Structure 1
């Protein structure tokens, strides 16, 4: 199974290493040319904002993903004992999928990448839940403000509620709740089935206790990074709204619409269309290099994860 999972990344790494410098330069040069054509086409197809405004917004949006990569790296180093630079590269290698796939299916790609790196599906889920929890700290006020002044997109409201409640329940309610369930089973049941269930509940309790400890240890720096992320996201929308030839309500409305719109939708307004185009082009800027770096580091991370015991200590709540 391990060999099968590593076949794709190993094949790509092998092909890249066998190429000469001239072939590598030709491939990278071709990508840069296609990228430049895509940027030129994005600017040419719309007169909603000037070119320099679109480029400035793209740079700010890219900076927000630098902060996202730092946040994910901090969580992964603590929870999965992975390399921070490999995790940051993984973030940039997988972010285009988050925009290209509807209904947040990009998270499935990130989960699979974290699982391949760390070898623990449950810990990969915990990292993603905590990552979304710190997003929700700033998304909840935004959604609340939008709800007071206008209609909130249904998808944004649902995803924000899930992102806020599920991780918080895991981190703050899960340890105590599972401890109470254990105590109840020990006190009232002694059948073989109950004992097997007790072992599984104990594994789950240790997992959520570990998640809670990671969240508490990393909370200050993760809150600061999350604040910087959403400041950059809001500034992108403010720049576009202020300098737009189209009348749009305000930056928060644009932000809320951009967060839930699917790129292939044919009902987008011109300013929303340029906002989505800017995000996609910004994400693709570092994508080839980061993907190659991530694939090159993947085998090393898989080897390291086998030698690390991910099981948290038996904390008593």
Structure 2
């Protein structure tokens, strides 16, 4: 294991201990916080959503199966610290972990892009369903999400368009240009073309599975938040209304109490990942 990896694991372990100490999330304190049994389905649903996230990562990496265990460990070890960072900055940490897993950085970026685009498409479909049922979305949430959707869709379409167009540019540069600027353009177009191919290889024969897993992930995560909101303030509303409320809270910001229990699940996932990593190292040392 490299030195940066050991440093990160040490920082993660310290962060877990510090968070547990600050939150005082011991079994006794959880009992004092009240009604852990009704919250058990919430925790199970949220944990299940992350199991499906792991399955999605494994599916996107089937063309490079040797990297699947390391990729799953990377998700488990970055999900908890990522949840503590605001404004989705944690996605940068996840991407950095993916870049360390794969020898080819374009493959890491392709997996990350496929995840994000699938999430956007599923959430857009859920928002469309809410609008069909005449559920009003907060203006700020609607605006931010529409911008995110447009940037993601046009960015992905732009990638494929530019990569295809650069095929003709490459031919022109090879035949007619030997300048430094021409060589830089040639390298850039080659990198875009390779990213396009990596994305296609990640999605080849798996697009339906990707969308299905993404839908399951968000249905479980939103259902968990909806049940938690009902636990906080029972309203005798239908599950459809609770689900809509959960989606709106997920798109904006989860209540602080909900974030606490989400972090508890992610902390457990990080501990399991640390344990699995330690076991894998012991087995590897035993074989050698």
Q: TM-score, normalised by structure 2?
A: 0.74
Query: Measured at CA, do residues 289 and 136 of structure 1 come closer, stay the same or move farther in structure 2, by a change above 3 Å?
Result: same
| Paired positions, count | 266
8 Å contact kept, 1:90–1:291: no
1:72 maps onto 2:61 in alignment: no
Distance 2:231 2:5 in 1: 47
Query: Measured at CA, do residues 296 and 165 of structure 1 come closer, stay the same or move farther in structure 2, by a change above 3 Å?
Result: farther
Deviation at 1:40, TM superposition (A): 5.3
Distance 1:236 1:6 in 2: 33
- The runs of 5 or more residues in structure 2 that have no matched partner are 284-288
| CA displacement 1:272-316 (0-9 Å, x = unmatched) | 233222211111123123034347769x9xxxxxxxxxxxxxxxx
Q: TM-score, normalised by structure 1?
A: 0.69
Match among 83, 92, 96 for residue 76 of structure 2: 92
Deviation at 1:253, TM superposition (A): 3.0
Q: Which aligned pairs between 1:1-317 and structure 2 lie closer than 5 A?
A: 4-6=3-5, 8=7, 37-38=25-26, 41=29, 44-45=32-33, 50-78=35-63, 81-145=65-129, 149-151=136-138, 152-153=140-141, 154-170=143-159, 172-183=160-171, 185=173, 189-193=176-180, 194-247=182-235, 250-261=242-253, 272-294=255-277
8 Å contact kept, 2:83–2:90: yes
Moved more, 148-157 or 215-224: 148-157
Moved more, 213-222 or 227-236: 213-222
8 Å contact kept, 1:174–1:208: no
- The runs of 5 or more residues in structure 1 that have no matched partner are 17-29, 262-267, 301-317
Question: CA RMSD for the aligned pairs?
Answer: 3.7
8 Å contact kept, 1:76–1:127: yes
Distance 2:278 2:90 in 1: 18
